[in-house]
Each structure stands twice: as C-alpha cells, then as structure tokens.
Amino acid sequence: MALTNRGGGDRQLSSAWVTTSGTREGHEARVAALRSQLAALPREAPVRLAKRTSNLFRPRSDADGGLDVSGFTHVLNVDPETRTADVEGMVTYEQLVDATLPHGLMPLIVPQLKTITLGGAVTGLGIESSSFRNGMPHESVLEADILTGDGEIVTATPGNEHRDLFFGFPNSYGTLGYALRLRIELEPVRPYVRLRHLRYSDAQEYFAALREACEQRDADFVDGTVFGRDEMYLTLGTFTDTAPETSDYTWLDIYYKSIRERTVDHLPVRDYLWRWDTDWFWCSRALGVQNRLVRLLVGPRLLRSDVYWKVVAFERRHQLLARLRRRLGLPREEAVVQDIEVPVEQAATFLDFFHAEIPISPVWVCPVRQRDPRRRWPLYELDPDTLYVNFGFWSAVPLDEGEPDGSHNRLIERTVDELGGRKSLYSESFYDEDTFWRLYNGPVYRSLKDRYDPRRRLLDLYDKCVKAK
C-alpha cells in the first residue's frame, strides 16, 4: 500500500527540538517501522492497534494482530520558553507530568488516572478540576501527526488543509486515525495546592456555589464529591508557594475520605494531580484494599489504577465473583460506569433523578466549559457559552427480577439527552443508531470517514462504541 506524509510535519518537528527523552532520530525510526508494518498489511486488511492495556470501560473485540505502537512512549521535547511539549501518542500522563514538573509546568488538563495516554485523552475525551477554565485535553493541542485509516501520516493543525481532521479527531476513538505525535500547550505551576472542602446540604445552593466559583476564578481547581442528598462537598484548590504541612494519600490514608474529615488541606502539586489514582477514586473499596491492614501489607507501589485494572480484567475473563453471587442467590447486577455532562442549570435536576433511580454513592462532580468559544469540535459539541457539570459514577446496581441488563444505563442516556447534556463514549453505550448519530454528528463524521478512511479499514464509531466490535 502507498503510505505518505503530508502537511509539513517534518519541517515543524525540526524547530526547537530539545529532547527530554528519546531523540528525533528515534522518533523517525519508530515512524519508519510503523510504515513498514502498514506496508506489510494486505490492502483491505483492517487497521487496529495492538494494545495490551486500556482505560476503556466497555468491551473490546479480541481481534488478532494489530499495529505495534508500544514504542511511541517518549516525551520528545519540553520547551519552557514557549510552554509547549512534543509528545508521542502512547505517552501516559504520569510520564508527561514527570517530564514537565521539573520545568515548573504541567499540561492544561491532567486526567485523573496515571496510565491514561495523551493520544487516548485527545481522540477520546478527558476532564479534570481545571476544566472549568481549560476545557478538555484536545483544546490544548497545537498540532498532531495522525496515522489515518487510509495509511497516510498527516500533520493536522487548526489552520492547515487537515483542519477538518484536527477538529473532528476528538471523540473519534481511533476510528479516524491514531495520534503518533502531538504538540500541546503547558501552564505554570507552583509547589503546592491548598484545598478547601465546603459542605452543602441543598443541591440548588451547591451548584450555585460551584457556578460562582467558576465565574469568579478565585480558585485554580474546582471539583466536588456527592455522598448523599444532603452531603455534598465543593473542593476549591489554589496554587501556593508554601504549605504549613502536607497530607499523604499515596499509601495508608485515603483522599476521598479526607474530604469529609478536613475543611483545609495541602498537597504537593504532583500528589494533587494524582490524588484520585491511588484508590481509583473510591473504586478500590470493591477490591478490599481500603482496609488499613491490607494497605499496609500491599504497600504504595501496588496502590495504583493500572493494578486495579488487571484485577478487573481477570474477573472479566473468569467471572469468579459473578459465579459466587449466583451461588449465593444474590440478584444480578448491572455495571453503571459513566461520565456525563449537563448544563449547570440542569445539574440539580439530574442529581435528584440520580438519587431516586441509581443507588450509587459517592458521585464525582466536575465543571467544564469550552476553553475557546470560537472553536467547534463537531463530534462532541458543547454550547461554548454554557458551563456544564460532569457527573462521574462507577459501580454496579442490582437488577430486579426480569429486568434486562442495560436498563439503568438506558434510563441515564435518555435523561441526559432530555436535559441537553452529553455522554462520554469510553464506557458502554446503548443508543439506537439514529439517536447515536443525531447526538454525535453523523454527517460530519461520515464526511471525515470518506476523506481519511475511504476503504473503511478502521472501525466505525457506532460499531466500536455501541456494538463493541
């Protein structure tokens, strides 16, 4: 097959190439090796990545083969003067943060789990407590080298001939191509983050305070945790140069429990960025590792989201706990693992619905607003003038006798749509095809597919995210 490079990528890569890991020559060698892999594939063969790990919570097909991109794990350049970084697509945010913090810089958005990759966060979506001012990870991308389904490597920027792919790439989940290199913006940090945990018992007051915090911009970070109808916490984080003392939630103590116990806290900036990873937010409790004795024996090295992923993957393969539940006569359960966004005006309504219908607690809350209202990201459009509230909930709920699997997830999807919201596609989806393409801009997607994957060598977005092919 023919494989070319378009869009001036090599010329742009040659400027200010000051490496922090890897070399330009090494990157070019990895690209050349990938080209060879592509050339060896039959002309109409499907193109997939051979990935050993994933942060997706939906089933994936076990197709054999795939392109080996495991070597694209280098932070190629951190430029403190321009506050930018050149990064290969399979670099994890843990690697990226470790490369930027020594320069007093961080990515504009750092998703919550250490092993999320930059390429994954851009072609999917990401969110964190700086999203009320910085949007999502794709909004800090300046340019991207993308391997398309048509076998080309193109450099996409907001203003060049591949601008349609640049803006259409987010929320395409690898169905339009794979990011091999991205240039992203960075922002300055200070050594510590001061946290204030403010408790509310009324949802309307809670979301009014969250909205005010986002509008006033007195905090650098805003998120929240909901433990119940009358127990909601708004967490405001502010950069600071000093701290009277710092807490440690990397081993014996648990961050989300501290929210209920402290009104003020201080963390080193790196610990703040990864405050949720040690316990996978609060999901580690299902694995028994929130017991203090267990944590003491396990040690901090294994208290990581990627370790928990391996446990979950083992259970998916062998269904040991599911079989035990059946033997004990316990009801079937439905996994409800979702992140959704609704306009802040509808946040209290959604939370009331959630408390009534979905027995899951805690719930994570994170405000997000599009960073630049002039831009349009067609596959995941948000009103650029609206502040949205992300709700993250990750657990399982019992099914009534005869109730079909997926009932709770379908109810959530309908409610989010009715409230003018959006749902991330990293987890299971249950939309019919017409509804899916109405929500995720089928006409624009098909136009991009025709241009960059005309032979349909990559999966279709609906097939991948709903049919789990």
Do 176 and 74 belong to one domain? yes
Domain that holds residue 316: 192-423
**What's the confidence (pLDDT) of residue 11?**
32
Q: What is the pTM of this model?
A: 0.91
Do 177 and 198 belong to one domain? no
The CATH number given to whatever domain includes residue 301 is 3.40.462
**What's the confidence (pLDDT) of residue 431?**
97
Q: Assess if residue 216 is contained within a domain.
A: yes
pLDDT digits (tens, 9 = 90+) for 307-346: 998 988 888 788 877 787 778 778 889 999 999 999 999 9
Q: Assess if residue 51 is contained within a domain.
A: yes
Amino acid at 226: V
Do 284 and 343 belong to one domain? yes
How far is it, in rounded angstroms, from Cα 461 to Cα 221?
Answer: 32
Do 134 and 19 belong to one domain? yes
Q: Assess if residue 74 is contained within a domain.
A: yes
Do 366 and 219 belong to one domain? yes
Do 448 and 407 belong to one domain? no
pLDDT digits (tens, 9 = 90+) for 279-295: 999 999 999 999 999 99
**What's the confidence (pLDDT) of residue 19?**
44
What are the average pLDDT values for consecutive 10-residue runs of the chain, which has 469 residues? 39 39 83 85 76 56 66 95 97 97 98 95 96 98 94 94 98 95 98 98 98 97 98 98 98 98 98 98 94 96 94 82 77 92 98 97 98 97 97 94 93 98 94 97 98 93 89
Q: Assess if residue 434 is contained within a domain.
A: no
What is the distance, to the nearest Å, from the Cα of residue 434 to the centroid of all Cα atoms in its chain? 26
E-strand ranges in 244-387 read 264-268, 333-343, 363-368
Whether the Cβ atoms of residue 445 and residue 370 lie closer than 8 Å to each other: no
Whether the Cβ atoms of residue 197 and residue 262 lie closer than 8 Å to each other: yes
Strand partners, 267: 193
**What's the confidence (pLDDT) of residue 323?**
80
Do 73 and 173 belong to one domain? yes
Which pairs count as long-range contacts for 307-311, CB under 8 Å and 24+ apart, including other chains?
308/280, 308/283, 308/284, 309/53, 309/55, 309/115, 311/287
**What's the confidence (pLDDT) of residue 425?**
95
The CATH number given to whatever domain includes residue 100 is 3.30.465.10
**Count of structural domains within the chain:** 2
**What's the confidence (pLDDT) of residue 17?**
40
Do 174 and 203 belong to one domain? no
**What's the confidence (pLDDT) of residue 56?**
57
**What's the confidence (pLDDT) of residue 51?**
61
**What's the confidence (pLDDT) of residue 59?**
57
